[in-house]
Every structure is written in structure tokens, then in C-alpha cells.
Amino acid sequence: MPNSQDIPAAESVEELKLVAISALENSSTSEELEVWRVDFIGRKGKLTSLLRGLGSLAVDDRRVVGAAANRLRGELEGLFEKRIAVVNSSSAPLGSIDVTLPGRKPASGGLHPSTQMIREITQAFNEMGFQTVEGPEVELERYNFDMLNIPQNHPARDMFDTFWVDSEKDDLLLRTHTSPVQARVMEANDPPIRVVVPGKCYRYEATDATHEWQFNQIEGLAVDEGITFADLKGTLYEFARRIFGPSQKVRFRCDFFPFVEPGVDMSIEWKGNWLEIMGAGMVHPKVLENAGYDSDKYTGFAFGMGPERISMLKNEITDIRHFFSNDLRFLSQF
Ligand code: FA5
């Protein structure tokens, strides 16, 4: 007859469970786990001996305690398998650091391709004496259009050509180009002025491989006494040589922008074709006067280009939409 201490009761199943789980959690090597397995769920282990003692119980107790002990066996076997998997998947002993593992280089980020191109272009102009300035992306209609001699009936002012912002006070929009910063800089400063203005612009566009609804522009403005069209050509020619190479050819053709007179577009010769890369021209006298300048005394030139389009040429990118789609397969190539 087993003595009363050996008689298994429902409480002793619960007690065994607590002891077994705590011992399992403290086993952190395969060897320790094997000792645990033999000790708790092995053929001569604690659970087996508890089950052996069932015979001495009353029939009803035997059924209850037997069922609880069998459930415990299933539970402990499951926990044991999980623990084995954890210990085997870790090469280092649990709770410690394996100082013998070789070091790994942490993944590092980088500048966005648009930012890289903007910096390259602005640096070229900085070296020619232009200062980098910025202006607001949410702009007043006055600066985006009126001050730039863009008349009320211009199609860009149409509700569906530009992103307008609901506003009770003033007419606000997402700027369609960086040219409004020309007006802001002239309004706040006296000549001489030489600035480049990088920044985002927004247009209500049907997007395609060369048109995004959000893109960057870099504006340039030089105002002083005696600035001529030769200064415009010389500066932009030098820019093209710095960005595309010392033997780069450029071409100027007449173009129209309401805020310059005369207006031109500049193309570069690229792989046998002429490709347009920017609009430019002599600052229109009305724009100088709108900013409070004497247009008989001062002249200037201005230009505006798209850095994404230039990066597309230099890096053989076939679709402008890659720039803002946030795909690491594209971004990590820069
Ligand atoms: C303008 O925006 C004028 N403000 C440029 C200018 C400044 C002319 C000063 C004269 C004097 P345009 O709409 O052509 O011009 O845009 C200039 C450049 O911005 C284009 O050559 C192109 O590179 C880029 N661009 C224009 N629209 C888009 C678009 N939807 N997606 C990507 N780039 C664009």
C-alpha cells in the first residue's frame, strides 16, 4: 500500500505542472532539456510515477486525477517540443550574447535621387556666385501668377489645371513652378541678386513617363545693372558643361513665358538628339516693376529646370514616376 504522501490527488497534478514548467523554462541547452525530459515525462519520470499511484485511489477519484494527469502529459510534451525548437534555433546560449559572431554592417540610408541631383545642380550655381534660397510650396495666387505677368485668362489659372487650396482670406494654391520665388526675392531685396531656388511644384497632370503631378524645379534669377542675354547664355553654357561634361553642346531656341522677354528654351545634345532641359529668358520689365525695381536701370535673366528630368537623362531612367513611388529596388541604386 502506498502511504498517504504517495497518493496522487488532483492538487499533486497541479503542483507537478508548476514544478515541471518552471524547470523547463530554466533549461537552456539540449543537455539540460534531455535531463528535464527524462525527469518529468520519461518512462521512469515523475508523471509516470504519479499515474502509477492512481490504482490506490477510489474509482471516482481515479477517473478525475487520471484525466488531469493525461492532459498534463500532452501539455508538457507540447511545451517540451517548443522549447527544443527555441534552443536549437539559437546558436548562442539563451540569455547571453555570442561575442564570436562576425560583425555585420548596419543598413545605411542615402539621399533621395532627386535630392542628389538638386544638390549637384545648386552646387554648380553656388560655385558661380548664386545663393540657394527657398520659398513656400503653398503659395498666393498673386506670386504664382499676377506678379509674374501671367494674365487672369491664362489656362493655368483654370480650376482644373492647378491644385487650389480652400481658403476664405486669400487665393491659395500649390505652386505650379518655382518662379514665384523670383517675385518674393525681388520684393524683399535690392539688386544685385543671384539666387537658385530648388523646391517642389504641383500640377494637375495626367501622369505619364515624363510628367508627374508632383516634381521638383530649380529656378535661377540674376538681376543687376547691365545684365545681358550674353550673361544668360554664358552662365547656362557653363552649367551644362559642369553637369554633363566639358564638351557638352547646347542650343537656345525662342520660346514664350509671360515673365520673360525674350524667352528661350535650352536643349542639350544627348546621344544624337537635342533634348530640351529648361525654360529661360530675360526678366520681363513688368516683372521687375511689379517688384518695385526701375526697369530702365536694372535687367536680369531667369531660368527654370526639372532636376528629375535631368537625372533621367544622366542615369538612363525611363519613367519619372519611379522617383516618387518609394520602391527600394529603384532608390537603392543611387
Ligand atoms: C516653367 O515652369 C517656367 N517657370 C520655367 C522658367 C523659369 C522659364 C524662368 C523662364 C524663366 P515649364 O513649364 O516648361 O516652365 O517647366 C520647366 C521644367 O520643369 C521643365 O523643363 C521640366 O523639366 C519640368 N517640368 C514641368 N512640368 C513637369 C511635370 N509635370 N513633371 C516633371 N517635370 C516637369
**CATH code at 113-331:** 3.30.930.10
* Per-residue pLDDT at 212: 95
Residue range 290-294: mean pLDDT, rounded: 96
Ligand 1 atom 28, closest CA: 211
Per residue in 49-75, pLDDT (tens digit) is: 888 888 888 888 888 888 888 899 999
For the ranges 6-10, 18-22, 38-42, 307-311, the lowest mean pLDDT is seen at 6-10
* Per-residue pLDDT at 271: 85
Ligand 1 atom 24, closest CA: 306
Calculate how far, in angstroms, residue 99's C-alpha sits from the geometric centre of ligand 1: 56
Calculate how far, in angstroms, residue 217's C-alpha sits from the geometric centre of ligand 1: 7
Bridge partner list, 303: 220, 280
pLDDT higher than 90, residue 191: yes
pLDDT higher than 70, residue 281: yes
Residue range 202-211: mean pLDDT, rounded: 93
pLDDT higher than 50, residue 94: yes
Pocket test for ligand 1, best of 217, 261, 287 (most atoms within 8 A of CB): 217
The amino acid sitting at 126 is N
Residue range 66-92: mean pLDDT, rounded: 85
* Per-residue pLDDT at 4: 39
pLDDT higher than 50, residue 5: no
Ligand 1 atom 17, closest CA: 305
pLDDT higher than 60, residue 91: no
Per residue in 316-325, pLDDT (tens digit) is: 999 999 999 9
Residue range 85-110: mean pLDDT, rounded: 77
Residue range 98-113: mean pLDDT, rounded: 87
Q: Where do the structural domains in the chain lie, given as residue ranges?
A: 4-89, 113-331
Residue range 128-143: mean pLDDT, rounded: 97
Calculate how far, in angstroms, residue 162's C-alpha sits from the geometric centre of ligand 1: 14
Between 155 and 109, name the one with better pLDDT.
109
How far from 100 is each of 22, 91, 334, CA to CA, in Å? 30, 11, 34
* Per-residue pLDDT at 6: 47
Ligand 1 atom 14, closest CA: 279
| Burial (0-12, 13-18, 19+ Cβ within 10 Å), 278 | buried
Calculate how far, in angstroms, residue 53's C-alpha sits from the geometric centre of ligand 1: 90
Ligand 1 residue neighbourhood (C-beta within 6 Å): 177, 179, 203, 205, 211-212, 215, 217, 219, 257, 260, 278-281, 302-306, 308-309, 320
For the ranges 98-102, 178-182, 232-236, 321-325, the lowest mean pLDDT is seen at 98-102
What number does the ligand 1 atom closest to the CA of 213 have?
Answer: 30
Calculate how far, in angstroms, residue 183's C-alpha sits from the geometric centre of ligand 1: 17
Pocket test for ligand 1, best of 278, 282, 301, 312 (most atoms within 8 A of CB): 278
* Per-residue pLDDT at 318: 93
Percentage of residues of the chain with pLDDT beyond 90 = 70
Q: Look over the chain and give the mean of its residue pLDDT values, rounded to a whole number.
A: 91
* Per-residue pLDDT at 101: 84
pLDDT higher than 60, residue 126: yes
Does residue 298 contact residue 225 with C-beta atoms inside 8 Å? yes
| Confidence category of residue 252, pLDDT binned at 50, 70, 90 | very high
Per residue in 260-278, pLDDT (tens digit) is: 999 999 999 988 889 999 9
